[in-house]
Structure 1
Amino acid sequence: MSSQISIGLGNWGPPNPVRFYPRGPAYVITSFAYDTLVWKDSKGVIPWLAVKWVKLNDTAWVFYLRKGLTWSDGEPLTAEDVAFSYNYLKESKWAWKDMSVLKRAVALNETTVLIELNRPFPLFVEEYATTVFVIPKRVWSSKPSLSVSSGPYVLKSYSPGSGYVFVKNPRFWGPEPLFDQLVIPSMQFTSPQALASAFISGKVDAITLMGKAWRLIKVIESRKPNAIIKKGPMYWVLFLGFNLNKYPFDVKEFRKAVSLALDLKQLVLRSVGSFEGALPGVPGYVPPYSAFYNKNVGVHEYSPKEAVQLMEKLGIRDSDGDGCVELNGRKWRPLLVTSKSWVTEALIVKEMLERVGICVNVKTVAGTKQLDWIVKNGAFDMEINGHGATGNNPFALTWIFKAFGTPWFNEKYEKLMRKLTSAKNLEEAEEIAKEAQGIIADEVPRIALYYPYQFLVSDGKAHWFFTYNGIDGGIPLPYNKLALLKPIR
Structure 2
Amino acid sequence: MVLSRRMFLKACGCAAGALGAGALVGCGSDGAAGSAAAGADGASPAAGVGVGPDGESQVVITMTPSSEPAAGFDPLVNWGAGEHVHEPLIQSTLIATDNNLAFVNDLATDYGCSDDGLTWTFHIRDDVKFTDGVPLTAEDVAFTINGIVNGQAAEADLSMVREARAVDAVTCEIAMERPNNALLYTLAVVGIVPAHGYGEDYGEHPIGSGRYMLEQWDRGQQVILRANPDYYGEKPLMDRVVVLFMEEDASLAAASAGTVDVAYTSAALAGAVPAGYTLLNCASVDSRGISLPCNPAGTDVVVEGDMVYMGGNDVTSDIAVRRALNLGIDRAAMIEHVLAGFGRAAYSVGDGMPWSSAAMEVETDVAAAEALLDEAGWARGDGGMRSRDGVPCAFDLYYAANDSTRQALAYDFADQCAALGIAVTPKGASWDDIYVRQYADPVLWGWGSNSPVELYELTYSTGWGNYAQYMNETVDANLEAAQAARTVEESYPFYQAAQWDAASGTGVAPEGAATWVWLANVDHLYFEREGLAVAEQKPHPHGHGWSLVNNIDRWSWS
In which range does the TM-score fall when normalised by the shorter chain?
0.7 to 0.9
1:183-222: per-residue Cα shift (whole Å, max 9, x none)? 22111126xxx64543343333224556x45953xx53x7
CA contact (8 A) 2:197 2:207 kept: no
1:223 aligns with 2:279: no
In structure 2, the residue matched to 1:281 is 346
1:433-452: per-residue Cα shift (whole Å, max 9, x none)? 32233212111221111223
Please give the alpha-carbon distance, in whole angstroms, between the structure 2 residues aligned to 1:208 and 1:25: 19
In structure 1, the residue matched to 2:98 is 41
1:447 aligns with 2:517: yes
CA contact (8 A) 2:283 2:540 kept: no
SS in 1 for 2:323: helix
SS in 1 for 2:159: helix
Aligned-residue offset at 1:33? 2.0
Change (3 A) 1:38 1:109: same
The answer for unaligned runs of 5 or more in structure 1 is: none
1:271 aligns with 2:327: no
Please give the alpha-carbon distance, in whole angstroms, between the structure 2 residues aligned to 1:23 and 1:115: 19
Correspondent of 1:241 among 266, 270, 291:
291
CA contact (8 A) 2:324 2:370 kept: yes
CA contact (8 A) 1:238 1:450 kept: yes
Please give the alpha-carbon distance, in whole angstroms, between the structure 1 residues aligned to 2:104 and 2:372: 54
Aligned-residue offset at 1:273? 3.6
Correspondent of 1:60 among 82, 105, 119:
119
Structure holding more helix per residue: 1
1:134 aligns with 2:192: yes
Q: CA RMSD in A?
A: 3.8
Change (3 A) 1:333 1:431: closer
In structure 2, the residue matched to 1:88 is 147
Correspondent of 1:349 among 413, 420, 425:
413
CA contact (8 A) 1:78 1:111 kept: yes
Please give the alpha-carbon distance, in whole angstroms, between the structure 2 residues aligned to 1:152 and 1:479: 15
In structure 1, the residue matched to 2:35 is none
State the one-letter code of the partner of 1:239.
G
In structure 1, the residue matched to 2:395 is 334
State the one-letter code of the partner of 2:61.
I
1:450-486: per-residue Cα shift (whole Å, max 9, x none)? 223445653354533223x668x99997534443269
SS in 2 for 1:35: coil
Aligned-residue offset at 1:396? 4.0
In structure 2, the residue matched to 1:387 is 447
Structure 1 moving runs of 4+ over 6 Å: 21-25, 330-333, 473-477
Correspondent of 1:431 among 474, 481, 493:
493
Matches within 5 A, 1:160-179: 161-179=220-238
CA contact (8 A) 1:262 1:352 kept: yes
CA contact (8 A) 1:465 1:480 kept: no
1:264-297: per-residue Cα shift (whole Å, max 9, x none)? 23222322344xx333333x5553x444543355
Change (3 A) 1:39 1:331: closer
SS in 1 for 2:141: helix
SS in 1 for 2:63: coil
1:154-177: per-residue Cα shift (whole Å, max 9, x none)? 334545531333344455443444
CA contact (8 A) 1:466 1:477 kept: no
Change (3 A) 1:399 1:95: farther
State the one-letter code of the partner of 2:62.
G
| Percent of aligned positions that are identical | 18
1:115 aligns with 2:169: no
The answer for unaligned runs of 5 or more in structure 2 is: 1-52, 295-310, 501-506
Matches within 5 A, 1:290-439: 290-296=353-359, 298-303=361-366, 306-307=369-370, 310=373, 313=376, 321=382, 323-325=384-386, 329=390, 334-338=395-399, 339-364=403-428, 370-371=430-431, 373-378=432-437, 381-389=441-449, 393-401=451-459, 402=463, 406=467, 408-411=469-472, 412-438=474-500, 439=507
Aligned-residue offset at 1:421? 0.5
